[in-house]
Structures are given as C-alpha cells and as structure tokens.
Amino acid sequence: MSSKIIDSERVTYFARGFRITNYLFDDIPTVVNEIWDFGDSGSDTAIYDRIEVVRGATGLMTGTGNPSAAVNMVRKHADSREFKGSVSGSYGSWDKQRMVTDLSAPLTESGNVRGRVIAGYQDNDTWLDRYHNRKKFVYGVIDADVTDSTTLSLGYDYQEANTDSPTWGGLPTWFTDGSRTHFGRSFNSAPNWSYSDKTSKKVFADLTQRFDNGWQVRMNGTHAENDFDSKLMYANGFPDKDTGILVDPFGSNVGAYGGWNKGTRKVDAIDTYASGPFELLGRQHELVIGGSYNRQRSQFYNSQSTISSADMGNYYNWNGNIADPAWGAWADYEHSTTRQKSLYTSARFSLADPLHLIAGARYTDWSIIGSTGDTSNNRVTPYVGLVYDINDTWSTYASYTDIFQPQTQKDINKKYLSPTTGKNYETGVKGDWYNSRLTASVSVFRIEQDNVGQSTGIAIPGGGGEFAYRSVDGVVSKGIEFEVNGAVTDNLQMTFGGSRYVVDDQDGQSVNPEQPRTSFKLFTRYQLPMVPDLTVGGGVNWQNGIWQEGSGPQNTTLRAEQGSYALVNLFGRYQVTKQLAVQANINNLFDKEYSDYLAPYAVYGTPRSVSMTVNYAF
C-alpha cells in the first residue's frame, strides 16, 4: 500500500496500482467521494479497535470498488464489566498537542449493559507557514447482552476539524521556461483568509442473534451526516524565473482561482446476513447469505473568484497577505442521490480434509440520480477460490473474481464515465507458526480492466476546479507481494514485506505512474531482556522512483520525476509503572526531502517530526 498527499487536507491511498475506494465501517460499505473533501481519510483512529485491510478485488464484500484493497474500520466497544480507562497526552513537532480520554464502565450491577466514551482534542501547526488545525471528537457506545444469545450495540460518533490557511493543490511544478521550480518545504500557497471546516456525525446500531445450532443473524445499520465549508485558492500558471510573476498558459491575466465550496452528505446504510454451518454428503460446510442497502444524498454549492497576476505579485515573496476577492453568486453546483442495493451469498465447502472450495456471488444494483445526469448499472459479481492445506503450517490458494466499479468521475462534457469492469486472478502460499504468532504469505496477481478513469489534467469548464477524466481500456496490472509478520522470538516482533507490479494499458502506456512499482517495508519491535520495561523499535519504507505528467507552460505536456527514497522511523517505549508509560517517536529520521505529488503541481512529503506521548491507564 502507498499514500499520496494531494494537498494539506486530502490524502489518498493506493494498492496494486489503483486507488482504494472500498471503505467499510463495521463491515458496512461506504462510498468515498473522489472529488469533494468530506474528511473521510482524516477520521481519528482513536475510536477504532483495529483496521483490517484485504488486498485485491473485494466485490463479494463491497459490491463495487477498485481492485486495490478494502479497508474495514472496526469500532471499539464497551467490553469491560468493571470500570477502567486511560488518559494520554502528547506533544510534538510544529506545536502538536493532543489529549485522548478513554473510559469504560458497567451500567448495571451484573455488567450485562456496558458503556464506553472516548473523547479527544488536537491542536497543531505543520511544516507549512501559517497553517493551523484544530480537531475534536467524541465517541460513545453502549453494548448490552439482551439475553444469553442476543447482543445489541448502539453508538454515536462526532468529529470536527477546523483549519486555517489550508492549501488547495500545491506549488507550481515548472517555471515558464519549463525548468523545475524548487520552493522551500514551508512555502504555503494558501492566502490568510482561506479555511476549511468539516463535521461528521454518525449513529449506528448492531444486533446479533446466536442460535444453538451454530447459526447467527446479524443486522448492522448506520446513519451519517457530513458537512464541509472550504474557502480556498489555487495558484494558477507558472512563475517567471526572473520576476516571479505567475503566467497563465492560455494568455489570461489570472494569477489564482478562488473556490468557495459548501457541501452536505447524508448516508443511510444497513446490512443483514445469516451465517452458520450445514452438512452435505457427510461433511460440514459454512454458508453466508445476506443483503445490504446504501443511500447517499449529496449537495454541493460553489462560488468562484479570480485574482490577477498583478495582485498576486512576485510569487517568491508570497506570504498569504492578499485581500479576500469579490466572489460570484452561489450556484447549486451539483446534487445527487446514489443508491446501492445488494444480495449476496457465499459458501465454504469442505471437499476433503485438506481441500476447501469458497464460492459466492453478489448482485449489485447501483444508480445515481443528479443534477448533472443520471446513470444506473447492475451486475452479478462472482467469486471462486480453492484452498489446499499442505500440512499444519503451509497452505496454498487460488481465486478469481469479477470487477465492477461505477465511476463518479466526469469527462470534459461533465458526463459520467462508464463503469470500470474487469477480472482479478490471484494465487499464493501462506504459512502459519506457533498458533498464528508468526505468519507469512506470498501472492501473485493479475488484474484486467476496461473503462479505467484517468485524469486528463484539464479542468472541466465551470466545474469549480474539478478535473476531467477519460476512460482507458485494456489496463493490466500484474505483480507479486510478500509479507512476514509476527513474533520471531519471545522478545522480537517483525513485519517485513514488499511488492512489485507493473500496470499498463492496451497501448503499453503506464497507468498511474505516480505510484511506486516496487516497495519494501521493515518494522521491528524489541523488548530488552535485561530491561523488560523498555521496548525499542523502528522501521524503513523504501520505494522506487515515480513520475507524473501534467500541463506545462505554452500548452505543453511535461514530465516530473521523483527518484527512489527510503524513510526511517524510530520509537522507544518505557513502562514506568503498571499504569504509566512514556513513548517517544521520530518519523523521517534523516529528514529526507521528497515530493509526494508531482504534476501539474508539487506537494512535499512530511519532513522529520518528533513526538512524546504519556499514557496513564487505570
């Protein structure tokens, strides 16, 4: 997996060469908007028990989505029948201050009803000049054992983020003569009047009924409301190397565009399934059958402005001190309702003691009705896989599934692209030692797709800064991944993994070349035998060089490159008492300077940072 910083407020994640669009919250798929920023990637992880990642096409899980990976955010629950909690505080680089409180308690004498509250606050600058962010969140959940076989969970999650001087895009990649710019990492392209405010509210419920025969029925539902209000500015054109004046490639006198966007999104989703064992031909098998419904209603308003090159002045001297421009009338830029209805079933058949067949299918009916057009699609997504247990340690597998991904990107005429379709093949070997304390896996995959959306780098006329996309056929991604994870010794834990893939279209042109084709990761954690309260560790992430093309000066297309690099992180944790622990972290130890986004604008990766955290548990 890899990440890409689009600007100060947006981060996207990729796997196997494609963007990850499959996000689930407690197993419920959620559509992540690829254009507007609702803060989906910035949800605070303190409220989650774990984050599960399944690589590859996951149509059986999510119905639609890219063949990259599915990320399931599993919330924390009230699982304690006695009062307990923790308080943590941290301070780090760029005046980052963070406090988190986590409290659990029984709400009845028997403990069959329990509650948990997690709340936090964060205040920080960054390496960008004038940037400031404030974030707060509160999460509450009640878990009840209604009967010995029935459990019910009810919860609420509120998150709010407010940012001063956030960036929209990054810094111009090229001068007017086509040579590369090199602004300092602290250079902030945002004006002082810009801001970005986001709020998220979610309520959820989970009901599980277990039966004596091993079957269970689960109903899981959520309602979410998101709002954003962002007033941003995008520097236009390319600076003259001598004067620093921004020159528009099309000859206008526009030095920057302003975009004031407001949006709301309401999501209602429910998933219900039954699962359990059954016997056939003298052997026991497992069956899952269920259905889901997801409705997303979105509305976006937009106002635009322009700032002349003269008013922007010498970009070398830019400090954000510019008057708030005159804004145009508010426009109902887009409103839409997206629905996804699914029925699914899967079974795990025990063909023989070492051989298992997994087969399933999901029917998905997807539609979007909106002010910029309507589109609908339906598809049956099959899945089949074989698992052979070689012995108690090793197993091998092979799988096949279809790919179905409706697209919300638009072409230059503001029309939705046709759905991405394709096939995903995968085979591999897995190892398991010491009751899963140490695991290993190697997988080989091949992904074939048509109608893959690719950015043209050209803005849609009247699109509020939205870029036009085009469809590419014959896209093939093929590669290999491996990972070793777990306890190497009683004191040493390690994760070592890597991937290598290539992805090209039918003409042999590279697809998403801004994503690393080869990457390795190594993380270790060591508990000193002579000082058992001290744990030290660190990690290295290495990736090969990348490149990206974008619109250059004088209506040209230029390529920007970033060479291979490694990032090194370190940490140390000391358990002062049974309740009190102190941890120090250093990220990007050697302060490597690199570009995370390349063209048509550039965004630097995160410089070296240091933090100290104190945690008290009771």
Q: So what's the pLDDT on residue 463?
A: 59
Mean pLDDT of 564-591: 98
Encode pLDDT of 371-428 as tens digits.
Answer: 777 888 888 999 999 999 999 999 999 999 998 888 777 888 878 888 888 999 999 9
Q: How far apart are CA 428 and CA 430, in angstroms?
A: 7
Question: DSSP secondary-structure letter at 318?
Answer: -
Tell whether the model's pLDDT for residue 13 goes beyond 70.
yes
CA dist 572 and 500 (Å) reads 31
Q: What is the DSSP letter of 205?
A: E
Q: What is the average pLDDT across 264-283? A: 95
Question: How many CB atoms sit inside 10 A of residue 279's CB?
Answer: 9
d(CA 35, CA 32): 9
- Average pLDDT in the chain: 92
Contact 432, 419 (CB under 8 A): no
What whole-number percentage of the chain has pLDDT above 70? Answer: 95
Asked if the model's pLDDT at residue 466 lies above 90, the reply is no
Query: Lowest-confidence range among 293-307, 456-470, 542-556, 580-594?
Result: 456-470
Backbone torsions φ then ψ of 316, nearest 5 degrees: -60, -30
CB 505 within 8 A of CB 473: yes
Return the pLDDT at 58.
Answer: 67
CA distances from 101 to 33, 121, 143, 290 (A): 31, 9, 19, 37
More confident site: 285 or 556: 285
Fold of 2-617: Maltoporin; Chain A (2.40.170)
pLDDT at 251: 79
Residue 511 CB neighbour total at 10 angstroms? 19
Does the pLDDT value for residue 54 go beyond 90? no
Q: How many residues does the chain have?
A: 618
The answer to whether the predicted template modeling score (pTM) of the entire model surpasses 0.85 is yes
Is the C-alpha dihedral spanning 368, 371, 373, 374 positive or negative? positive
Q: Which two tokens stand for residue 345?
A: 């079933």
Higher pLDDT, 244 or 459: 244
Instruction: Tell me the sheet residues that pair with 285.
Output: 278
Rounded Cα distance between 146 and 262, Å, is 42
Q: What local confidence, expressed as pLDDT, does residue 88 receive? A: 98
Statement: residue 215 has pLDDT above 80:
yes
Q: Which residue has the tokens 């910035």?
A: 42
- 34: pLDDT strictly greater than 90: no
Residue 110 sits at φ, ψ, to 5 deg, of: -80, -15
Predicted confidence at residue 11, as pLDDT, reads 87
Sketch the domain layout of the chain as residue ranges: 2-617
Three-class SS of residue 456? strand
Q: How far is CA 548 from CA 5, 484, 519, in A?
A: 14, 32, 18
Which helix (DSSP H) or strand (DSSP E) does residue 62 occupy?
helix 59-62
Residue closest to 194 by CA, chosen among 262, 131, 122: 131
Place of tokens 């091993």: 214
* pLDDT for position 507: 87
Phi, psi (degrees; rounded to nearest 5) at 561: -125, 150
Q: Which of 114, 107, 117, 104 is nearest to 143 (CA)?
A: 114
CA 402/CA 59 separation, integer angstroms? 7
What amino acid is encoded at 57 in this protein?
Answer: A
pLDDT digits (tens, 9 = 90+) for 324-370: 999 999 998 888 999 999 999 999 999 999 999 999 999 999 998 88
Phi-psi region of 529 (alpha: psi -120 to 50; beta: other; left: phi over 0): alpha
pLDDT at 40: 63
Distance CA 310, CA 307 (A): 8
The torsion defined by the Cα of 503, 507, 508 and 513, in degrees rounded to 10, comes to: -50
Put the strands of the sheet holding 69-75 in their side by side order: 28-31, 22-25, 69-75, 48-55
Residues 6+ apart with CB under 8 A from 54: 61, 69, 70, 72
Least confident range of 211-215, 490-494, 503-507, 518-522: 503-507
pLDDT in tens, 77-108: 999 999 999 999 999 999 999 999 999 999 99
Tokens found for residue 493: 């834990």
One-character DSSP codes across 471-539: EE-SEEEEEEEEEEEEESSSSEEEEEEEEEEEEE-TTS-BSSTTS-SEEEEEEEEEE-SSSTTEEEEEE
Q: Taking residues 190-208, report their average pLDDT.
A: 97
Distance CA 35, CA 18 (A): 16
Distance between CA atoms of residues 606 and 506, nearest Å = 36
Say how many CA atoms lie within 13 Å of 237 toward its Cβ: 27
3-class SS at 338? strand
Tens of pLDDT along 149-197? 999 999 999 999 999 999 999 999 999 999 999 999 999 999 999 999 9
What is the phi/psi pair of residue 379, to 5°?
-160, 145
The dihedral sign for the CA sequence 389, 392, 395, 401 = positive
Strands 22-25 and 69-75, by their bridges, are parallel
Cα 251 from Cα 254, distance rounded (Å): 9
